[in-house]
Amino acid sequence: MELFASKMHCCGSNRATSPRAAKTARVVHREGKIAKMIRKRVFAWTGTALAGVILITACGTNQSGDEDSGDSCGTSKGTLVIGMIVPLSGGVSATGLGMRNAADLAIRQANDKCAVPGYRLALQPEDDQSVPQVAAQAATTLASDPNVAAVLGTANSSTAQTAAPILARENIVEISPANTSPTLTLGPDAAAPKRQFPTYFRLATTDLLQGPFGAQYLVQKAGKKRIAVIDDGKTYGVGLTQTFVPEVQQLGAEVVARERVGEHDTDFSGVIARIRPTNPDVVFYGGEYPVAGPLSKQLADAGLAIPLMGGDAVNDKQYIALGGRQGDLATSIGAPARSVPSARSFLNQYAAAGYAEPESVYGALSYDSANTVIAALAKVVSRGDFTSSRRQELIDAVQQTNFDGATGHVSFDEFGDTTNKVLTVYAVQGGDFAPVETGTFDG
């Protein structure tokens, strides 16, 4: 009120009045002017607030506006959703949570630097619990939303088999940081490859290389000659052992036993009793760490002091917590993160972001997968607003990807597979896996 009063003056009357009447008139006049000015100011404030509400509401849609929203990046064109399908609960949730966080980091950084002009990017993670049927439901949820531009995931090859065709029907590009089954890109016969889904890409190299790479290390470097092979019956585990066994045999070693366990089994006394008479010097396991860790412990408890080796789905600290032993081995995708400057930068940024969970073995690959989508989206929106009708342009832009990411060079071949074929063997040392051999499969 003092602000208003300081700007006012009183107007005299041309009529003669008594001193008391003149004073009263001046007071009434002054109070009337004050009331009028307050009403104007309230109306102005109300209009401004209402306009702000309308503007905020408009920014929540995926429609073009005439004016910028007023923020530093200009997101008046709305929000584009990047979906993600990974296990956020269940036995392998440690893997999925790290993948989700890494993708979130990439999207946050993209929004901070206005990577996709006119749009805000939002991550929508869906929990598939590592169950194919649940993954299909998650894919259906994302596919029904016209604001979904792309999907990251899945983690498991078995879940990819149910999610990929659903996303393909809606022409939604999908990039997996983790799937390794060759059939997802090449079809059932790798000798006569045929691309299965034009929308599907991955940054993980396949078991056509990972299995033989592990076999070469075990036989040629570790000197193992008698190998018992166990799988969990799932797409990933079976596929990994199917590419591992022929290379072992070609190298002159012997597969002394072939066994299968269930993905939810906890007692392995029966399978251990069956492989003991074959006198193996190592066990190769095709499956994931929730079974591999207890299996390793029960091997030692039964007096079989031999190492267990698995693939990338074993390479997690949880494997050690569940019973994995010193000297156990695992292959994994790409070079060790700490050996690649760009990957070290990602790890430092991830740590600085303060996520509650570690980045997991697929963290850097998830980060690169998200940045692949972001770069492709930026390319597409440079030619006009993004709508679901332009999803094919996004697929084409992803196919043309060519940049250096946290995991190395990122690009795809004609089947949607990564052109980066680097693999690493890790050994349990202390409380973590440490790299012991990096290279590519020498076929």
- Is the backbone of residue 279 left (phi > 0), alpha (psi -120 to 50) or beta? left
pLDDT band at 47 (very low <50, low <70, confident <90, very high): very low
Q: How confident is the model at residue 443 (pLDDT cuts 50, 70, 90)?
A: confident
Reply yes or no on whether the pLDDT at 106 is more than 70. Answer: yes
pLDDT at residue 357 tops 70:
yes
Contacts of 273 (CB under 8 A, 6+ apart): 302
pLDDT at 28 over 80: no
The C-alpha atoms of residue 247 and residue 434 are separated, in whole angstroms, by 24
Q: For residue 356, is pLDDT > 60? A: yes
Q: How far apart are CA 92 and CA 157, in angstroms?
A: 13
Give the pLDDT confidence score for residue 55 in this predicted structure.
31
Angle between helices 341-353 and 93-112 (to 10 degrees): 90
What's the 3-state SS for the chain? CHHHHCCCCCCCCCCCCCHHHHHHHHHHHHHHHHHHHHHHHHHHHHHHHHHHHHHHHHHCCCCCCCCCCCCCCCCCCCEEEEEEEECCCCCCHHHHHHHHHHHHHHHHHHHHCCCCCCCEEEEEEEECCCCHHHHHHHHHHHHCCCCEEEEEECCCHHHHHHHHHHHHHCCCEEEECCCCCCHHHHCCCCCCCCCCCCCEEECCCCHHHHHHHHHHHHHHHCCCCEEEEEECCCHHHHHHHHHHHHHHHHCCCEEEEEEECCCCCCCCHHHHHHHHHHCCCEEEEECCHHHHHHHHHHHHHCCCCCCEEECCCCCCHHHHHCCCCCCCEEEEECCCHHHCHHHHHHHHHHHHHCCCCCCCCCHHHHHHHHHHHHHHHHHHHCCCCCCHHHHHHHHHHHHCCCEEECCEEECECCCCCECCCCEEEEEEECCEEEEEEEECCCC
According to the model, what pLDDT value does residue 42 have?
Answer: 34
Q: Render pLDDT for 156-168 as a digit per residue (tens, 0 to 9).
A: 999 999 999 999 9
Rounded CA-CA distance 145/124 in Å is 11
Number of Cβ within a 10 Å radius of residue 413: 12
- Summarised one tens digit per residue, pLDDT across range 181-216 is 999 999 999 999 999 999 999 999 999 999 999 999
Angle at 363 between CA 143 and CA 128, to 5 degrees: 35
Q: Which residue has the higher pLDDT, 55 or 304?
A: 304
Structure tokens that stand for 402 in this block: 């060519």
Average pLDDT over residues 8-16: 36
pLDDT digits (tens, 9 = 90+) for 322-333: 999 999 999 999
Q: What is the pLDDT of residue 439?
A: 95
What's the CATH number of domain 79-204+337-412, 3.90.1150.10, 3.40.50.300, 3.40.50.2300, 3.40.190.10?
3.40.50.2300
Distance CA 375, CA 394 (A): 10
Burial 145-175 (b: 16+ CB within 10 A, else e): eebbbbbbbbbbbbbbbbbbebbbebbbbbb
CATH architecture, range 208-333+425-439:
3-Layer(aba) Sandwich (3.40)
Residue pair 203/179 in contact (Cβ under 8 Å)? The answer is no
Residues 6+ apart with CB under 8 A from 357: 94, 97, 98, 101
Say what percent of the chain tops pLDDT 90.
81
Would the CATH topology of 79-204+337-412 be identical to that of 208-333+425-439? yes
pLDDT per residue over 401-435, tens digit each?
Answer: 999 999 999 999 999 999 999 999 999 999 999 99
Strand pairing report for 408-410 and 403-405: antiparallel
Q: What is the pLDDT of residues 65-105, one digit of tens each?
A: 333 334 568 899 999 999 999 999 999 999 999 999 999 99
User: Does 399 score more than 70 pLDDT?
Assistant: yes
The domain segmentation of the chain, as residue ranges, is: 79-204+337-412, 208-333+425-439
CA 95/CA 383 separation, integer angstroms: 37
Percent of the chain topping pLDDT 70? 84
Can you give the pTM of this predicted structure? 0.82
pLDDT grade for 30, boundaries at 50, 70 and 90: very low
Please say if the pLDDT value at position 39 is more than 80: no
Task: Work out the mean pLDDT of the chain and round it to a whole number.
Answer: 87
Residue 127 pLDDT exceeds 50: yes
Which residue shows structure tokens 């065709």? 165
Q: Compare 71 and 363 and report the one with higher pLDDT.
A: 363
41 pLDDT above the threshold of 70 = no
CA gap 281, 245 in Å, rounded:
15
In this structure, the strands spanning 200-202 and 254-260 are: unpaired
Residue 8 pLDDT: 35
Average pLDDT score over residue span 269-291: 98
Whether the predicted pLDDT of 442 surpasses 80: no
Q: What is the pLDDT of residue 337?
A: 86
